Structure formats: structure tokens, C-alpha cells
């Protein structure tokens, strides 16, 4: 289960919770405010730089310790200065998300290939599956094998039993500069999601680049322009 940071709309306390259905009920342990998850907005993040290795991190704006997953430096969030202004190339090739004590850390690796000038699609390269081309829509695209219990936005009609009913997620975002980026993660599938033959770890989010190969079970798609 992926953990996310939400903000109590009543007392403004950041709360780390398991990502669940938006319509499930949630109670703030601080002020007892109760409502559906959808009413709890995402907690604001701020960018900081590791004082040792200079990695740029995004952390929840609350007191606590931050563990840099790059060099393992651990310190109070107040010890992490703001990052230097980015260079022209600031996009991320990969994003690793993990629980770091009191803060959720997202580490960005600099690259440019992930920013696209037009939308991308997934094209079937290996396996028997319909649709053969998946059109990704803005926001969260959930992918899984078509079945009576499947609760995902993209249902794959396939006899590949190694694809779970809720297998992977691809988030399609439009940046302020009007370029497109796509974030891939596993949805807790039984057999895992693989990017270029490397398994995506639990809680890991990877930014896709053109020609990336995404494997679900024995079925492979290529990430390419529409």
C-alpha cells in the first residue's frame, strides 16, 4: 500500500495515511475532523537540498528528521537549505519515494528526456492483448487485467494470468511550461511491474522516457509518442 501525506482541512495537520479509495471515511487523530478522503487535500511539499551530497529533495512542511536516501545523511529538516536555482535541464529521469521517518522524501535525478512536447501512448510489443495501443489521459491512469472484479480505468483484455486486476499506475501531468511528463508505479501487483526489465520497488515512482519498455506479467508495452 502506497503511503501519502494529506492535510486535515480543519486543523491543518499533515497526516501520513495509506492511499485508499477517495470515498472512504477518514478521521483526523488531532482534532477528530471526519470526512471522506477526497475532502483531505494533499499536504504541501517544499524543496530542500541535502547539505552533504546536494541532492534536491521534496519534503512535507512539518518539523522532523529527513534521511537523504542518496548519501544516507540524517538531520533535522531545518538543517536542509533551499536548493540552488535549477539549470536549464531540470526534469527528472527517475523519482524514488520512500518513508524517511517524519518526512516522505522524493528524490529527483536530473535529465531532459522525460519532458515531451506532445502526448504519449503505450504500444503493445509482446503478448496478446486488447487494446494494442493505450491512450493515456490527464491524471491517474490505473491499469489491470479485465475481469468482473477489476476496478481500474484501463482494462486489458488478455489471457495473461500474471497481470493483476489492478496492476500498475501511470500519472499523466502537464507542467507549467506546457510539456508532458508521465509517472509509473506498481499498484501492489502479485508479479510486479518492470521498467526496462528492472522491477519497480514498492513505493517507487519512475518518470517515463521515450522507448521505455513496461512489462506487466508476460505482456510488454513501449512508451512512445502518439
pLDDT band at 109 (very low <50, low <70, confident <90, very high): very low
Contacts of 78 (CB under 8 A, 6+ apart): 63
Sole residue written with cell 499523466:
172
More confident residue, 107 or 192: 192
Residues in the chain: 226
Does the pLDDT of residue 112 top 70, yes or no?
A: no
| Grid cell listed for 125 | 510489443
Rounded to an integer, what distance in angstroms lies between the CA atom of residue 145 and that of residue 166?
7
129 with 221, same domain: the answer is yes
pLDDT band at 72 (very low <50, low <70, confident <90, very high): confident
- Look at phi and psi of residue 188 and say left if phi exceeds 0, alpha if psi is from -120 to 50, else beta: left
204 with 124, same domain: the answer is yes
How many domains does the chain divide into? 3
Residue ranges making up the domain that contains 173: 120-225
Please check whether residue 216 is in contact with residue 112, taking contact to mean a CB–CB distance below 8 angstroms: no
Longest dimension (CA), the chain: 53
pLDDT digits over 129-185, tens only? 999 999 999 999 999 999 887 789 999 999 999 999 999 999 999 887 888 999 999
| Grid cell listed for 60 | 512535507
107 with 126, same domain: the answer is no
- Please tell me whether residue 106 adopts helix, strand or coil conformation: strand
Query: Of 19-23, 104-108, 185-189, which gets the smallest average pLDDT?
Result: 104-108
Rounded to an integer, what distance in angstroms lies between the CA atom of residue 83 and that of residue 57?
9
* Count of Cβ atoms closer than 10 Å to residue 182 Cβ: 21
82 with 103, same domain: the answer is yes
pLDDT of the residue at 157: 94
103 with 53, same domain: the answer is yes
Rounded to an integer, what distance in angstroms lies between the CA atom of residue 163 and that of residue 138?
23
pLDDT of the residue at 183: 93
Does the pLDDT of residue 108 top 50, yes or no?
A: no
pLDDT of the residue at 163: 96
Question: What is the CATH classification number for the domain harbouring 195?
Answer: 2.60.200.20
Rounded to 5 degrees, what are φ and ψ at 77? -55, -30
pTM of the model: 0.53
Please check whether residue 215 is in contact with residue 186, taking contact to mean a CB–CB distance below 8 angstroms: no
100 with 156, same domain: the answer is no
3-state helix, strand, coil split of the chain in percent (to 5) is 5, 50, 50
Amino acid at each position: 500500500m502506497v503511503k501519502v501525506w494529506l492535510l486535515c482541512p480543519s486543523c491543518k495537520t499533515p497526516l501520513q495515511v495509506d492511499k485508499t479509495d477517495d470515498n472512504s471515511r477518514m478521521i483526523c487523530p488531532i482534532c477528530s475532523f471526519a470526512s471522506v478522503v477526497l475532502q483531505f487535500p494533499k499536504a504541501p511539499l517544499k524543496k530542500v537540498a541535502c547539505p552533504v551530497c546536494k541532492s534536491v529533495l521534496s519534503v512535507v512542511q512539518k518539523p522532523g528528521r529527513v534521511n537523504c536516501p542518496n548519501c544516507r545523511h540524517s538531520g533535522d529538516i531545518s538543517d536542509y537549505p533551499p536548493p540552488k536555482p535549477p539549470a536549464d535541464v531540470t526534469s527528472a529521469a527517475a523519482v524514488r519515494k520512500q518513508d524517511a521517518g517524519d518526512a516522505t522524501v522524493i528524490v529527483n535525478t536530473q535529465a531532459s528526456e522525460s519532458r515531451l512536447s506532445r502526448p504519449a501512448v503505450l504500444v503493445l510489443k509482446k503478448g496478446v492483448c486488447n487494446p494494442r495501443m493505450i491512450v493515456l489521459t490527464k491524471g491517474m491512469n490505473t491499469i489491470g487485467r479485465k475481469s468482473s472484479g477489476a476496478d481500474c480505468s484501463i482494462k486489458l483484455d488478455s489471457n495473461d494470468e500474471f497481470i493483476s486486476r489492478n496492476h500498475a499506475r501511470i500519472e499523466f501531468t502537464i507542467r507549467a511550461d506546457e510539456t508532458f511528463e508521465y509517472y509509473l508505479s506498481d499498484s501492489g501487483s502479485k508479479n510486479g511491474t518492470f521498467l526496462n526489465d528492472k522491477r519497480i520497488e514498492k513505493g517507487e515512482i519512475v518518470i517515463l522516457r521515450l522507448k521505455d519498455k513496461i512489462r506487466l506479467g508476460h505482456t510488454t508495452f513501449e512508451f512512445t509518442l502518439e
